[in-house]
Amino acid sequence: MDKKDLTRKIKEKALSLGFATVDITTADDFSDYAEELLRRAPAYDFVINMPKSPYKGAFPRSIMPEAKSIICLPMTTLM
């Protein structure tokens, strides 16, 4: 299966499961995000120092070195 077919199948499956949308990006570092978190450190220091800090998520391959892509699956909630 080629990359385009796999991407299409992932998106179709996610939408059929009820996710609002599907986006796929590389597992490259999110440097701008990391810099912004550090810039806001005085207000959010507790977040940066948490064991499962969002700051660590700015460097996906530090969590999963073999990662090639990240699949983003936002959900909507009904009220």
Give 31-56 pLDDT, tens digit per residue: 998 898 888 888 877 777 777 778 88
Task: Output the furthest CA–CA distance in the chain (Å, rounded).
Answer: 48
CB-CB contact of 41 with 48 (8 Å): yes
Asked whether residue 7 is assigned to any structural domain, the reply reads no
Q: Is 21 helix (H, G, I), strand (E, B) or coil?
A: coil
Asked whether residue 1 is assigned to any structural domain, the reply reads no
Full residue range of the structural domain in which residue 34 is found: 23-74
pTM metric for this prediction? 0.71
- Token pair 């892509």 is at which residue? 69
Lowest-pLDDT range of 6-10, 16-20, 51-55, 59-63: 51-55
The candidate with the shortest Cα–Cα distance to 62, out of 32, 40, 38, 30, is: 30
Asked whether residue 57 is assigned to any structural domain, the reply reads yes
